[in-house]
Amino acid sequence: MSLRCLIVDDEPLARHLLTDYVSKVSFLDLHAACASPLAALEALRTAAIDLLFLDVHMPELTGLELLRSLPQPPLVVFTTAHSEYALPSYELDAVDYLLKPITLERFLRAAHKAYARRPAAPPLVASPPPFLFVKDGPRRVKVRWEDILYVEGLRDYVAIHTRQQKVVGLVQLKVLVQQLPPDRFVRIHHSYIVALEALEAVYKDKVQVGGRFLPVGESYRAAFRALIAGPSL
């Protein structure tokens, strides 16, 4: 089983070196080498990526911000010339942290670490249903993706605000986010996930959903703006 990987680095020489290193590893399959975080977001939306080789310092969006913006991030190996970001990277469960200049020997060690952490091949199953059941007190409430406006984290609970009702379930936000389809939902704050289709208006540091204003956290702001960027009148 090979790992489909994505290189994200704004430095041409770094991209060239990592591309060469990837070509030398039999279990790595390079999907693309992106020169910007915005190009990486597009690649992540259109392809199943198993492993990111991700620079930290980049224009528009840092590697840390990019990773935090992903509801279901792939494995990641940070590549950077700055050692001070090692601790935040491991808090994000990074596979490894490579300091530039990166040697082939050090790259191979990181690649083998990533391969050891690859997910097991999933069994062949039918497509997941477009809903989930949430335990709300003595009952289990069926919540369809299309009905969700936003989800609010309340410590060990979540409040799922739908078009019809509010459902409070005993589950942490970081667990629930793994069950939500990433093409329909985005995390905008430590305590909020919103449905992209339910967005009514976007401001500098907040959004309007279901008639309510929700804050956009500073660490999520750049990635969120990049995600919704597009033609406007």
> What tens-digit pLDDT sequence spans the chain (233 residues)?
799 999 999 999 999 999 999 999 999 999 999 999 999 999 998 999 999 999 998 888 888 889 888 888 999 999 988 777 666 666 778 899 999 999 999 999 999 999 999 877 666 556 678 898 888 878 889 999 999 999 999 988 999 999 999 999 888 898 888 888 888 999 999 999 999 999 999 998 999 999 999 999 999 988 898 888 755 54
Q: What pLDDT was estimated at residue 233?
A: 43
Choosing from 116, 143, 169, the residue where a domain stops is 116
Q: What is the CA radius of gyration of the chain?
A: 19
- pLDDT of res. 177: 86
What range defines the domain where residue 42 resides? Answer: 3-116
Structure token pair of residue 85: 């970001």
CB half-sphere exposure, 15, CA atoms < 13 A? 16
On whether both 111 and 135 belong to a single domain, the answer is no
Structure tokens that stand for 219 in this block? 């660490």
- Predicted pLDDT at 126: 62
Same-domain check for residues 110 and 142? no
Give the pair of three-digit tokens for residue 19: 């591309």
Question: Residues 136, 222: one domain?
Answer: yes
Residues 88 and 135 placed together within one structural domain of the fold: no
**Adjacent-strand bridge partners of 80:** 99
Does a structural domain hold residue 124?
Answer: no
Query: Residue 163's closest CA among 181, 144, 149, 184?
Result: 149
Same domain flag for 143 and 72: no
How high is the pLDDT of residue 110?
A: 96
Residue appearing with tokens 């309510």: 212
Contact 146, 130 (CB under 8 A): yes
What pLDDT does 112 receive?
Answer: 96
In a shared domain, residues 184 and 150: yes
Decide: residue 211, CB within 10 A, 0-12 exposed, 13-18 middle, 19+ buried.
exposed
98 shares its domain with 154: no
> What does the block give as tokens for 155?
């410590």
Establish if 121 belongs to a structural domain: no
**8 & 99 share domain:** yes
Tell me, yes or no, whether 136 and 200 share the same domain.
yes
Tell me how far apart the alpha carbons of residues 59 and 72 are, in angstroms, rounded to a whole number. 23
Q: Establish if 91 belongs to a structural domain.
A: yes
- Please report the pLDDT score of residue 81 as a whole number: 84
Residues 109 and 145 in one domain: no
Summary count for the chain: helices (H), strands (E)? 7, 15
CB 7 within 8 A of CB 19: yes
CATH number at 34 reads: 3.40.50.2300
